[in-house]
Structure 1
Amino acid sequence: MTYELRVIPDCPNSIAALELFRRALAAESTGADIRVVELSNEEQAESLNFHGSPSFIAGDRDVFPSTAAPALTCRVYQTEAGLAGLPSQKDLQAALRSAPRTS
């Protein structure tokens, strides 16, 4: 399975999101590489069905599906503590476990 972290330039959560993604994959015994993709225009957002930065992608699918229109924007996640710029590690791991398995 391939993994991507999709972000926008100057996203305040990019570095923390990459570390979180690494920890979540390690906890799930997945030592996969993570490709970081920086989107810089609305055309890219539309073509990649991007719903905000950061987005966690497994096998070309956002592990936190959204019904919002694609946009070059910051993203918020619902956590036990309320809205946040990152999901909890627990929620990310659960989303990764639920992601369809592709190569």
Structure 2
Amino acid sequence: MKVQVLHIEECPSWEEAGARARQALDGAGLADVAVEFVLIRTPTEAAITAFAGSPTIVVDGEDLFPSDGQTTSLACRVYFTEHGLAGTPTRTQIERALQNHL
């Protein structure tokens, strides 16, 4: 399994998204799976990935939270959480999405 956090430099949420992904993987017994951070610098780089705004958590090349939002714009992403809109999904949301992916 390959887990990546696609992000832009200006995004304030990419590190937290990675930390939550790490926690979710550990909780699922997948401590041996690395979380790779991928800096998206250009619209071209965004276009050749599953980038849907920063941060986008990708598992095996697919957005863990699929939407119609794939973009080449170097912009932040917003997630719907039980606490309202946020810059990253909650750990629980990531855990559920990982379970659905497996």
TM-score (normalizing by structure 2): 0.91
| Unaligned ranges ≥5, structure 2 | none
**Partners in 1 of 2:58 and 2:67 — Cα distance?**
12
Q: Partner of 1:52: helix, strand, or coil?
A: coil
Q: Partner of 1:93: helix, strand, or coil?
A: helix
Does 2:25 align with 1:9? no
- Root mean square deviation, CA, Å: 1.1
Q: Partner of 1:25: helix, strand, or coil?
A: helix
Q: What is the identity percentage for the equivalent residue pairs of Structure 1 and Structure 2?
A: 32
**Partners in 1 of 2:61 and 2:11 — Cα distance?**
21
CA contact (8 A) 1:76 1:83 kept: yes
Aligned to 1:81: 83
TM-score (normalizing by structure 1): 0.91
Aligned to 1:62: 63
**Partners in 2 of 1:56 and 1:4 — Cα distance?**
6
**Partners in 2 of 1:97 and 1:69 — Cα distance?**
22
CA contact (8 A) 1:50 1:72 kept: no
